[in-house]
């Protein structure tokens, strides 16, 4: 065992990680066994849930067959959507490679269920940066605002909890869709548990049971044993290059929800009169199925990496959200690094630990959909897949970096050690 440990440390040394960093990491890991066990228990539940859904929907080898052209009678596509509906306990689901990303999935859910004169109400404060242009908070061609949809927002209370009285005041006869963002996005607030989301959904439905509640579930799938759809969400929305794609889906997004909402989304995605009957899958179905099968274990690895990062940087005096001992509601770990230099060093450490493009040196630059320069570290097999280990940050106060993903825990550990080594080398931390 001693020789094995020595050999592993020698491997770390080949990545430029010194003995002090390795020893510090080992001390941190020795205190995390109970947290890791909790994640394993959740993974067991979610893995069984996915397998049961696949069995009940009679997934078979022919489910992986490709279609082209119109994609009529795509048996595998139809079965996959039944599987998603079974996993999320919803009436229906739309799962398509034609949905290009999470932002696209959210726009699809909103635009297909809002009409001119309707109002969208966000009850979780400011939405994620890329949604600002979707909504029209920042002027953009084709926004909901351009099509006559108004927008209102209820900010969170200082403790990041929902402002129930503010929500009551904000709901009005024009309100049609209520949006909740589960994850923090580029904010330093905490993310929401499914239980908290369920409480606000219940409150909204008491005000008006006809209101449609949409939950942006990005980064949250399989973190808990239940999803927002289990607590009353009419639409639960996410990206397949995040959690549910398991690192294998090369593209895609999903909406799981009520039959009416899903039909509306399908007709908006393709065309009125065609709806969900078209949309060739072009050979990606095997990766969609297998990625969903692997997703609970991949999320487990990401959660263990997030807690490890939280414990490492909290011990070194940085603010981390959430803290290592807090309940996890998504896979994102934010670390407030206090300067642009520290953010850049951290992200370059993550990039240099990547299996792909490890030699690339990330720098802050303008990004579509963001109002400040952003640095992104992501040496991923699927371009931009944030279920794979990645870190990104807007270069603005308070200089928080957002770490997410990791297909295996050893890879996440290596990335965190490289980030820590870089910070040590520039004198930002001492061990």
What pLDDT is attached to residue 5?
60
Average pLDDT estimate for 344-365: 97
Model pTM?
0.95
CA angle 54, 56, 59 (to 5 degrees): 45
Average pLDDT estimate for 153-171: 97
CATH 3.90.1150.60 in the chain, residue ranges: 2-45+293-425
- Candidate CATH numbers 3.30.565.10, 3.40.640.10, 3.20.20.150, 3.20.20.140; the one for domain 66-281: 3.40.640.10
What pLDDT is attached to residue 370?
72
* pLDDT of 2 over the 60 cut: no
* pLDDT of 430 over the 60 cut: yes
Average pLDDT estimate for 103-132: 96
Structure tokens at 339: 């300067």
Cα(277)–Cα(263) distance, integer angstroms: 11
CA angle 144, 148, 149 (to 5 degrees): 55
Beta-sheet pairing, 400-404 with 212-216? unpaired
Average pLDDT estimate for 143-157: 97
What pLDDT is attached to residue 188?
77
Q: In what order do the strands lie in the sheet with 253-257?
A: 92-96, 253-257, 235-239, 212-216, 175-181, 119-122, 150-153
Q: Output the CA–CA distances (angstroms, integers) from residue 304 to 162, 177, 219, 237, 419, in the order listed.
A: 28, 35, 14, 24, 17
> What confidence tier does 382 reach under pLDDT thresholds 50, 70, 90?
very high
pLDDT tens per residue, range 173-227: 999 999 999 998 878 789 999 999 999 999 999 999 999 999 999 999 999 999 9
* pLDDT of 307 over the 60 cut: yes
Q: Give the residue with greater pLDDT, 6 vs 148.
A: 148
* pLDDT of 20 over the 70 cut: yes
What pLDDT is attached to residue 4?
66
Nearest partner of 256 among 241, 232, 237, judged by Cα: 237
pLDDT tens per residue, range 233-255: 999 999 999 999 999 999 999 99
CB of 295 closer than 8 Å to CB of 243: yes
**Rounded percentage of the chain residues whose pLDDT exceeds 90:** 94
What pLDDT is attached to residue 129?
86
* pLDDT of 26 over the 80 cut: yes
| Count of C-beta atoms within a 10 Å radius of residue 392 | 21
> What confidence tier does 372 reach under pLDDT thresholds 50, 70, 90?
confident
**Rounded percentage of the chain residues whose pLDDT exceeds 70:** 98
Average pLDDT estimate for 305-332: 97
SS3 letters across the chain:
CHHHHHHHHHHHHHCCCCHHHHHHHHHHHHCCHHHHHHHHHHHHHHHHHHHHHHHHCCCCHHHHCCCCCCCCCCHHHHHHHHHHHHHHCCCEEEEECCCCCHHHHHHHHHHCCCCCCCEEEECCCCCCHHHHHHHCCCCCCCCCHHHCCEEEECCCCCCCCCCHHHHHHHCCCCEEEEEEECCCCCCCCCCCCHHHHHHHHHHHHHHCCCCEEEEECCCCCCCCCCCHHHHCCCEEEEECCCHHHCCCCCCCEEEEECHHHHHHHHHHHCCCCCHHHCCCCCCCHHHHHHHHHHHHHHHHHHHHHHHHHHHHHHHCCCEEECCCCCCCCCCCEEEECCCHHHHHHHHHHHHHCCCCCCCCCCCCECCCCCCCCEEEECCCCCCCCCCCCEEEEECCCCCEEEEECCCCHHHHHHHHHHHHHHHHHCCCCCC
Average pLDDT estimate for 49-75: 97
What pLDDT is attached to residue 330?
97
Average pLDDT estimate for 347-373: 92
Cα(310)–Cα(15) distance, integer angstroms: 22
What sign for the dihedral angle of Cα 102, 106, 111, 117? negative
Q: What is the mean pLDDT of the chain?
A: 96
CATH 3.40.640.10 in the chain, residue ranges: 66-281
What pLDDT is attached to residue 332?
96
Structure tokens at 399: 């200089």
Structure tokens at 45: 């539940």
Question: According to CATH, what is the number of the domain 2-45+293-425?
Answer: 3.90.1150.60
What pLDDT is attached to residue 367?
80
Nearest partner of 205 among 168, 240, 230, judged by Cα: 168
């Amino acid at each position: 065992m001693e020789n094995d440990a020595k050999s592993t440390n020698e491997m770390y040394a080949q990545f430029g990680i010194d003995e002090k960093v390795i020893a510090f990491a080992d001390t941190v890991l020795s205190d995390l066994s109970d947290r890791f066990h909790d994640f394993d228990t959740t993974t067991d539940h979610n893995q069984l849930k996915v397998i049961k859904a696949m069995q009940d929907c009679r997934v078979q080898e022919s489910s992986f067959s490709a279609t082209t052209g119109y994609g009529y009678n795509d048996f595998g596509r139809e079965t996959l959507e039944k599987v998603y509906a079974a996993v999320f306990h919803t009436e229906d689901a739309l799962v398509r490679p034609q949905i290009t990303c999470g932002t696209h999935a959210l726009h699809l859910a909103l635009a297909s269920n809002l009409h001119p004169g309707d109002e969208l109400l966000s009850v979780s404060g400011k939405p994620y940066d890329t949604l600002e242009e979707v909504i029209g908070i920042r002027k953009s061609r084709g926004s909901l605002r351009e099509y006559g949809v108004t927008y209102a927002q209820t900010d969170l209370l200082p403790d990041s909890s929902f402002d129930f009285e503010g929500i009551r005041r904000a709901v009005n006869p024009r309100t049609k869709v209520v949006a909740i963002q589960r994850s923090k996005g580029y904010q330093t607030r905490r993310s929401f548990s499914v239980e908290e989301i369920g409480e606000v959904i219940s409150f909204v439905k008491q005000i008006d049971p006809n209101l449609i509640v949409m939950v942006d579930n990005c980064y949250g799938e399989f973190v808990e044993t239940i999803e927002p759809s289990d607590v009353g969400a009419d639409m639960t929305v996410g990206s397949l290059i995040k959690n549910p794609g398991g690192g294998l889906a090369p593209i895609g997004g999903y909406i799981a929800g009520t039959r009416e909402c899903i039909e509306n989304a399908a007709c908006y995605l393709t065309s009125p009169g065609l709806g969900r009957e078209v949309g060739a899958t072009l050979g990606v179905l095997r990766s969609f199925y297998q990625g969903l099968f692997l997703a609970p274990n991949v999320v487990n690895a990401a959660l263990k990496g997030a807690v490890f990062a939280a414990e490492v940087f909290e011990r070194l005096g940085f603010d981390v959200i959430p803290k290592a001992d807090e309940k996890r509601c998504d896979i994102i770990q934010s670390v407030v690094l206090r300067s642009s230099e520290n953010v850049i060093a951290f992200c370059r450490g993550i990039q240099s630990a990547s299996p792909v493009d490890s030699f690339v040196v990330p720098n802050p630059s303008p990004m579509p959909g963001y109002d400040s320069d952003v640095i992104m570290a992501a040496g991923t097999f699927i371009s931009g897949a944030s279920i794979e280990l990645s870190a990104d940050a807007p270069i603005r106060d308070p200089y928080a970096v957002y770490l997410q993903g990791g297909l295996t825990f050893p890879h996440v550990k290596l990335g965190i050690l490289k980030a820590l080594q870089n910070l040590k080398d520039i004198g930002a931390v001492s061990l």
